């Protein structure tokens, strides 16, 4: 029955006292049951005249305001020139009537990157990385099926994925002598990792990628000691520095390795080199183990180990105790 505004609550379907309203309406005491009856799906179709150019569509904006999606029916102006960016740039130039940076490298960053008009520039980390020595772009992304489950590690999600691979274009992998499901060293200016490679065609030949946050330290999340996440899973974090290449905290230089505008960590600016793992590489030779390795996380006091098997039923189980005659006759009498 919670409403953040009159007639607007958590769920948009089957609102109103009798469930006959959509998007906006009085609380419906049977709303949850209506969602259950419809497999938890609610569908609302826009009228044909509401479907296009919605940022400036009067009919759509009126609906959006009524539904509480926007606060006004004024058209949404898509800015090409950003006055906000220009204010930052003026501050870097010493022309802004307000706060201004005092250090020269901060001034230079504002003057260079806070352009009020869109323009392209090479990512900051790549400007300081030798592209010849590190020829591959390395990116990672969160698995969609685990996006809202980081803190729970639902056991059924592990059936979808419990190990990540370094995905690499087949032609590049074969040229480097890396076999499908073979192991390779992945090295950046900051560090290196040992990862299992999966060759594929559906990736840019100069790019490698993996799923983020699959790799776990042994003992974490109540996983067994031999869980794939801690034995073969890996993270790219070891390859990425918080500071830009050449920066040193000891020298008082702390230019962060992040987007100069948003401050977003530069997870897509990484360049790496890749070499196959040889049979006599190190103590992990011949073992299906990722690297680096860490000591096992010790359980908390009074920790109860998780069950090795979990199951649930959404309906009564099917009776499997049937005789052969009944099975072959399909129950015919």
Percentage of the chain modeled with pLDDT above 70: 89
b/e burial code for range 43-79 (CB count within 10 A of at least 16 → b): eeeeeeebeeeeeebeebbebbeeebeeeeeeeeeee
Rounded to the nearest integer, the mean pLDDT of the chain is 89
Q: Which of 67-71, 117-121, 265-269 has the lowest mean pLDDT?
A: 265-269
Is residue 274 classed as helix, strand or coil in its secondary structure? strand
- How far out from the chain centre does Cα 258 lie? 17
pLDDT of residue 75: 94
pLDDT of residue 90: 98
Cβ proximity of 219 and 297 under 8 Å: yes
Place of tokens 């192991």: 183
State the Cα–Cα distance between residues 73 and 56, nearest whole angstrom: 9
pLDDT of residue 295: 94
Q: Is 191 a residue whose pLDDT tops 90?
A: yes
Q: What is the mean pLDDT of residues 218-247?
A: 90
- Sequence ranges of the domains in the chain: 83-121, 136-276
Sorted by sequence, the CB contacts under 8 Å of residue 145 that are 6+ apart come out as: 157, 160, 161
- Helix (H) or strand (E) holding 229, with range, is helix 228-231
Q: What is the mean pLDDT of residues 91-102?
A: 95
pLDDT in tens, 130-179: 999 999 999 998 888 777 666 556 677 788 888 999 999 999 999 999 99
pLDDT in tens, 9-34: 999 999 999 999 999 999 999 999 99
Query: What CATH architecture does domain 136-276 belong to?
Result: Beta Barrel (2.40)
Q: Which of 99-108, 293-302, 312-321 has the lowest mean pLDDT?
A: 312-321
175 or 250, greater pLDDT: 175
The DSSP letter of residue 147 is T
Q: Which own/partner pairs from 258-264 qualify as long-range (CB within 8 Å, at least 24 positions apart)? A: 260/109, 260/113, 260/114, 260/124, 261/85, 261/113, 261/114
Q: Is 107 a residue whose pLDDT tops 90?
A: yes
Q: Dump the DSSP string for 19-35.
A: S-B-SS-S--TTHHHHH
């Amino acid at each position: 029955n919670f409403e953040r505004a009159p007639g607007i609550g958590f769920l948009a379907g089957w609102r109103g006292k009798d469930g006959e309203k959509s998007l906006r309406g009085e609380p419906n005491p049977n709303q949850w049951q209506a969602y259950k009856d419809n497999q938890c799906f609610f569908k609302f179709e826009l009228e044909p005249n509401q479907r296009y150019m919605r940022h400036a569509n009067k009919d759509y904006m009126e609906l959006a305001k009524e539904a509480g999606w926007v606060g006004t029916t004024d058209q949404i102006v898509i800015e090409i020139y950003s006055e906000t960016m220009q204010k930052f740039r003026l501050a870097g130039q010493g022309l802004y009537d307000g706060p201004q940076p005092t250090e020269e490298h901060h001034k230079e960053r504002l003057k260079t990157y806070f352009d009020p008009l869109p323009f392209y520039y090479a990512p900051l980390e790549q400007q300081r990385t030798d592209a010849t020595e590190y020829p591959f772009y390395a990116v990672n992304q969160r698995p969609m099926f685990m996006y809202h489950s980081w803190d729970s590690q639902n056991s059924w999600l592990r059936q979808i994925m419990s190990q990540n691979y370094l995905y690499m274009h087949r032609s590049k992998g074969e040229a480097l002598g890396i076999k499908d499901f073979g192991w390779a060293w992945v090295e950046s200016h900051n560090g290196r990792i040992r990862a299992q490679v999966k060759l594929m065609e559906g990736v840019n030949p100069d790019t490698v990628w993996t799923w983020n946050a699959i790799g776990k330290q042994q003992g974490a999340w109540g996983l067994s000691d031999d869980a794939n996440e801690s034995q073969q899973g890996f993270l790219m974090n070891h390859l990425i520095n918080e500071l830009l290449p050449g920066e040193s905290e000891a020298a008082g230089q702390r230019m962060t390795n992040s987007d100069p505008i948003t401050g977003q960590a530069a997870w897509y600016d990484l360049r790496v080199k890749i070499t196959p793992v040889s049979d006599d590489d190190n103590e992990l030779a011949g073992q299906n183990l990722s690297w680096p390795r860490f000591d096992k996380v010790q359980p908390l006091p009074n920790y109860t180990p998780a069950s090795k098997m979990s199951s649930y039923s959404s309906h009564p189980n099917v009776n499997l105790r049937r005789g052969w005659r009944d099975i072959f006759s399909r129950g015919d009498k």
